Amino acid sequence: MTKRPAYYITTPIYYVNDVPHIGHAYTTLACDVLARFKRLDGYNVMFLTGTDEHGQKIEQSAEKAGVATQAYCDQVSERFQELAKAMNFSNDQFIRTTEERHKKSVQHFWNVLQDKGFIYEDTYAGWYSVRDEAFYAEKELLEGEGGEKLAPTGAPVEWVEEPSFFFKLSNFEDQLLKLYETQPDFVMPKSRMNEVRSFVKGGLEDLSISRSSFQWGVPVPGQDGHVMYVWIDALANYLTAIGYPDQADELYQKFWPANIHMVGKDILRFHAVYWPAFLMAAGLPLPERVFAHGWWTNEGQKISKSLGNVIDPFELIETYGLDAVRFFLMREVPFGNDGDFSRRGFVLTCNANLAKGLGNLAQRTLSMVYKNCDAQIPNPGELSNEDKKILVSIDNLGDVVRGHMDRQEFHLAIEAIFAQAAAGDKYITVQEPWKLRKTDPARMNTVLYTLCEVIRQLAILIQPIMPDAAAKLLDMLKIKNRTFDALGPEQRLQPGTSIDKPEGIFPQFELPAEEA
């Protein structure tokens, strides 16, 4: 048996200070689509997600909720695990930073950095934002309406003075700049790479990596009173999940370095500057890519708990069904850009592409096969130029989609797939198979066969995006081989195969009341 290539993909691990919303669902969904695509394309995939459970923000949130900190983490982490089920995420692991295996891993990581001489003790005196869990230099701060100091993200900051251990980040300026130069795809999209490069060029200060004014964190080995800064703890999760510190572990051997860390643009600096510097210091290989996607707003407004406009993914799934939710999030916004969520946009996009697009094409074709061809895939006769043309483009679609997926252009992959559905729609309109039933049944069979073949390949290709709808279509057509090696002309539909009575796959949605 040939060895399948490995592919390791990670999401950020989410803070348990808040219940999951559409933004969290979005990042993990993008990873899920990529993970499913890679599995169908023959890769051995490790897809990791989880929760980030330490730090001052979590400690304060638990206190505010009046719940013991660990119990609070358990409750909220559970909600993220429920979201993974509701969204049908295919993650291979769900890691929590309060697990014992993680504590062991990150303490080992710390010891390696210490032994190699990259950690020293001093005092941190500077600005800190609990909401961002980030240290900010004076020059980065903004002024609020009342003259108060704010982080560049708009989060409040406070002055902190406490004994702290530091990581010699300033040693890594040149190595990081060299990394960005020699591996230009290390940060994607390209515009984000420029942002990271200019941050590093602006000069790096050493990074405080321990806190001593509260307790909720992984203890610094051998240093009573210090817990690790939550970001060194959090980033190391990517190593813990594959067996670190045991570098002989089968998973570690297979999956490190990671192929892609998917993140939102808010946490790019941590992944594209601090993380590679930590790894360089520890002498570990670097991940291949950090992809920073954009930010969702809700009907033009920033999504925030205080504005009360958080989009609840559970409610969306309840209202529109999972296929539509997954489709919309991946289709609506060019991946990497910011996007605005609106119910109207949701309904319009889903109706045009799903109910009226692919759904209608499948329903019309399969109903005709069911009624006019004894519910069997018909026998094609000689192919016309139009038949050949549409078959050639569907046979090439797998390669087109693969190219987009490799660059995380999910929207373009989907656009290419749905352009083929539209081409199928045009073909059916021009060929008018319903008229051929009486005039030329042999030609009707050829047209319907061609259409079924288009639908077969479209159904295989939409599996990563809408696994449920794809499975329904593939089941109706009785297709067994659903992996990407079944794409193209080699595994065409077998004439004579019985199909199931076709059922609608995508419902049509009503516009929201105030918009109708």
- Site residues (vs ligand ME8, CB under 6 A): 12-15, 23-24, 26-27, 52, 234-235, 237, 263-264, 266-267, 295-296, 303
CB-nearer residue toward ligand ME8: 13 or 473: 13
Q: DSSP 3-state assignment of 339?
A: strand
Q: For residue 219, what are the β-bridge partners? A: 227
Minimum CB distance to ligand ME8, residue 30 (Å): 9
Q: DSSP 3-state assignment of 206?
A: coil
CB-nearer residue toward ligand ME8: 313 or 502: 313
Per the document, the length of the chain is 516
Minimum CB distance to ligand ME8, residue 339 (Å): 8
Minimum CB distance to ligand ME8, residue 204 (Å): 19
User: Structure tokens of 67?
Assistant: 């719940």
Residue 288 burial (CB < 10 Å; 0-12/13-18/19+)? middle
Minimum CB distance to ligand ME8, residue 251 (Å): 18
CB-nearer residue toward ligand ME8: 33 or 263: 263
C-alpha angle 334/338/344, rounded to 5°?
Answer: 80
* Beta carbons of 443 and 483 less than 8 angstroms apart: no
- The percent helix, strand, coil of the chain (3-state, each to 5) is 50, 15, 35
CA 459 to chain centre: 21
Minimum CB distance to ligand ME8, residue 295 (Å): 4
Minimum CB distance to ligand ME8, residue 235 (Å): 5
Minimum CB distance to ligand ME8, residue 442 (Å): 53
CB-nearer residue toward ligand ME8: 341 or 418: 341
Sign, CA torsion 71/73/76/82: negative
Give the residue ranges of DSSP H helices in 336-466.
Answer: 343-350, 360-372, 385-406, 410-431, 433-439, 441-461
CB-nearer residue toward ligand ME8: 43 or 295: 295
Minimum CB distance to ligand ME8, residue 377 (Å): 43
- Output the residue with the shortest Cβ distance to ligand ME8: 23
CB-nearer residue toward ligand ME8: 124 or 296: 296
Pairing of strands 227-228, 207-208: unpaired
CB-nearer residue toward ligand ME8: 105 or 446: 105
Q: Which of these, 9, 5, 6, lies nearest to 290 by C-alpha position?
A: 9
CB-nearer residue toward ligand ME8: 151 or 234: 234
Determine the Cα–Cα distance for residues 143 and 147; give it in Å rounded to an integer: 5
* Beta carbons of 412 and 404 less than 8 angstroms apart: yes
